Chains A and B, each alone.
Chain A
Amino acid sequence: MSDAPAGDARTRYPIADSIPRETLDAEVARLEALASRPLPARLWGYVKLGGPGFMGAALTLGAGSLTASMLSGARFGYKTMWMIWLSVGMGTFMLAVMVRFTCRGGFRVIREQNRRHGRIVGSFLTGIIGCLAVAVIFNAGQVSLGTHLIESLGGLAGVSFPTLVTAVAYAAITIWILLSYGRGGSRGTRFVETFMKVCIGLMLVAFGVSLALVGVDWGAALRGTFVPWLPPGGEGVDLFIASSAAAVGVMDWVFLHYAGLARGWGPKHEALGRMDIGVGLFLPFVVVNLLVIALFAGTFFGSGLAAPETAPELSRALAPLLGARGAEALFFLGFLAVPISTTVGMSLAGAMALHEALGWEPDVRSTRWKIAILLPQAGLIGAWAANPVWIVIVIAAFLSLSGNVVGWSMYLLFNDAAVLGEHRSRSYAWNLGIVLGITLMNAIAIVYVMNRLGWWFG
């Protein structure tokens, strides 16, 4: 931080080093000018300047969360929509903590965890299990969905692509985007952020148009969005815990922190960071999921049509119901943005976390960075086969059992005067939101153990 101006607590992060000081200062000046503008102009300015939040939304909106929404819509109609905004809303408290760490902490969070809570919590549970293992293992599901969608798009054009071609196409797109990150000053990073924003826009347009074609029962949709409902008995508890777990987790926290550091965020970016969580992450996540639930509620729920169980099958079953061929193509294209942007986000998060866990300095031009960022491409196996089940079970076990411990660690850092000084938590409401989120993660870990022991609902 030798070239940082006095009073600038900006944390040195090598990916941000290539951003010229004038660029960062100009961004701060624009932020200061925005603060006095009317709300609409300010919001639009924040959308343009934001990025890490949008990347977080694109990362979270993956095959897993959208499959859950599709199945939920097909099985329960509009009734479970309220869980979407509630679960991601609870996650925003911890995300705001990550923005505080980025802008005011003066540290890199995994390294600080190592110092304060030990390497098992920092490097292993947060970096290796919470980020890298998730990126490598769960990318197979993204690849499987992505390659099927490319195949479906080809089918609409009357072309039949072999699996090898779809897998190569998927890898080529994601690798090209990934290798751009951090290059050319801030240009590479902004390019990837813009790509993620475009992906989110594509999802919104594609699912929005599809929903307009299918039609919405507005009364049921409004009730489902604001009136809590759960299926009776154990199924309801299971559904609530699973939906909450799918919303925001360790990888989202860590990625938001490091993506902010990679943008050179300092103290004056905290307001931008918070807006980025709201406008870039919360809103797109909620709207896209609500659109998908409504889409499947309007087509499958109560129709007597059998809804398949996997994302590729569900999308193929829905497309013909949209009527027009162009609408089918738009739906597949919007859906393709889901796995591609998630692969990009997960790969970046995995590479950043691996470097931090092992104490390496990230250099986007180094072979080590390129290998780290391409590790999740091992998921290309997903184009031919389902996930290797035993690995998924082991990682899911670690994840379920460790997410809450990582949450404890973040909460303790946030409440530690020795770590954050005057910027530590001072708000009862903020802490309450974090602790409620942690309590939910505790429940996920406990239910996982109870399931393994056969003590959870039969």
Chain B
Amino acid sequence: MIDMDRKLGRWRLRVWGLVINLVANAIALFGIVAVVEGGSPALLIIGATLTVVCVAALAIPPRSDS
């Protein structure tokens, strides 16, 4: 299991996860607009996949030894 409370640069991994999730959500929403307007689903697929990965990682609770 990843230690989401390990420090990476300025912040903990958990904080980076929140930031990346926000970016992923934005990509997915741009993707939805593109699909509804008849464009390519590529952005939606990338954004949605990244969102699922971030959500799954952020849900990991702190380790018992933290």
Please indicate the chain B residues that have their CB under 8 angstroms from the CB of A439 in the complex.
21, 25, 51, 55
Which of B15, B18, B51, B59 touches A428 (beta carbons < 8 Å)?
B59
- 10 A-B residue pairs with CB within 8 Å: A415-B4, A415-B62, A417-B5, A426-B62, A428-B59, A429-B59, A435-B58, A446-B26, A450-B33, A456-B33
Q: Mark A420-458, 1 if CB is under 8 A from B, else 0.
A: 000011111101100110110011001100100001110
Q: Mark B42-61, 1 if CB is under 8 A from A, else 0.
A: 00000000010001001111
Residue of B nearest to A456 (CB): B33
**A142 contacts chain B at the CB level, 8 A cutoff:** no
A446 touching B29 by the CB < 8 A rule?
A: yes
Bound CA span A73–B52, Å: 32
Q: Mark B25-49, 1 if CB is under 8 A from A, else 0.
A: 1100110110010000000000000
A431 touching B61 by the CB < 8 A rule?
A: yes
**A412 contacts chain B at the CB level, 8 A cutoff:** yes
Contact A447 to B29, CB < 8 A, known contacts A439-B21, A442-B21: yes
Please indicate the chain B residues that have their CB under 8 angstroms from the CB of A415 in the complex.
4-5, 14, 61-62
Contact A417 to B55, CB < 8 A, known contacts A234-B33, A439-B21, A457-B36: no
Which of A404, A438, A442, A447 has its CB near the most chain B CB atoms (within 10 A)? Answer: A442
**A411 contacts chain B at the CB level, 8 A cutoff:** yes
**B22 contacts chain A at the CB level, 8 A cutoff:** yes
Bound CA span A415–B5, Å: 9
Contact A442 to B58, CB < 8 A, known contacts A234-B33, A417-B66: no
Please indicate the chain B residues that have their CB under 8 angstroms from the CB of A446 in the complex.
22, 25-26, 29
B18 touching A417 by the CB < 8 A rule?
A: no
Please indicate the chain A residues that have their CB under 8 angstroms from the CB of B32 in the complex.
237
Please indicate the chain B residues that have their CB under 8 angstroms from the CB of A436 in the complex.
55
Which of A425, A435, A456 has its CB near the most chain B CB atoms (within 10 A)? Answer: A435
Query: Contacts A237-B36, A427-B61, A457-B36 given; 18 further ones with Cβ under 8 A?
Result: A411-B58, A412-B18, A415-B61, A417-B5, A425-B62, A428-B61, A429-B59, A431-B58, A431-B60, A435-B55, A438-B18, A438-B21, A439-B55, A442-B21, A443-B25, A446-B22, A450-B30, A457-B33
Bound CA span A233–B37, Å: 9
Q: How far is the CB of B41 from chain A (nearest CB, A)?
A: 15
A426 touching B18 by the CB < 8 A rule?
A: no
B33 touching A442 by the CB < 8 A rule?
A: no
Name the prevailing secondary structure of the A interface residues. Answer: helix
**A408 contacts chain B at the CB level, 8 A cutoff:** yes
Please indicate the chain A residues that have their CB under 8 angstroms from the CB of B14 in the complex.
412, 415
How many A-B contacts are there with CB distance less than 8 Å? 70
A233 touching B36 by the CB < 8 A rule?
A: yes
Contact A455 to B33, CB < 8 A, known contacts A408-B18, A415-B14, A431-B61: yes
Bound CA span A393–B5, Å: 38
A411 touching B18 by the CB < 8 A rule?
A: yes
Q: How far is the CB of B28 from chain A (nearest CB, A)?
A: 8
A417 touching B62 by the CB < 8 A rule?
A: yes
Q: How far is the CB of A242 from chain B (nearest CB, A)?
A: 14
Please indicate the chain B residues that have their CB under 8 angstroms from the CB of A435 in the complex.
21, 55, 58-59
Bound CA span A408–B66, Å: 20
Contact A432 to B61, CB < 8 A, known contacts A446-B25, A456-B33, A457-B36: no
A443 touching B29 by the CB < 8 A rule?
A: yes
Residue of A nearest to B64 (CB): A426
B62 touching A442 by the CB < 8 A rule?
A: no
Bound CA span A431–B29, Å: 23
Contact A428 to B60, CB < 8 A, known contacts A412-B14, A412-B15, A415-B14: yes
Q: Which of A277-326 contact B (CB under 8 A)?
A: none
Q: How far is the CB of A169 from chain B (nearest CB, A)?
A: 45
Bound CA span A85–B42, Å: 32
Which of A424, A432, A443 touches B62 (beta carbons < 8 Å)?
A424
Please indicate the chain B residues that have their CB under 8 angstroms from the CB of A411 in the complex.
18, 58
Bound CA span A182–B6, Å: 44
Contact A404 to B61, CB < 8 A, known contacts A443-B29, A457-B33: no
Contact A442 to B25, CB < 8 A, known contacts A412-B14, A427-B61, A431-B60: yes
Q: How far is the CB of A156 from chain B (nearest CB, A)?
A: 47
A432 touching B55 by the CB < 8 A rule?
A: yes
Please indicate the chain B residues that have their CB under 8 angstroms from the CB of A237 in the complex.
32, 36
Please indicate the chain B residues that have their CB under 8 angstroms from the CB of A443 in the complex.
25, 29
B61 touching A426 by the CB < 8 A rule?
A: yes
Please indicate the chain A residues that have their CB under 8 angstroms from the CB of B36 in the complex.
233-234, 237, 457
A432 touching B29 by the CB < 8 A rule?
A: no
Please indicate the chain B residues that have their CB under 8 angstroms from the CB of A447 in the complex.
29
Q: How far is the CB of A134 from chain B (nearest CB, A)?
A: 23
Please indicate the chain B residues that have their CB under 8 angstroms from the CB of A455 in the complex.
30, 33
Bound CA span A412–B11, Å: 12
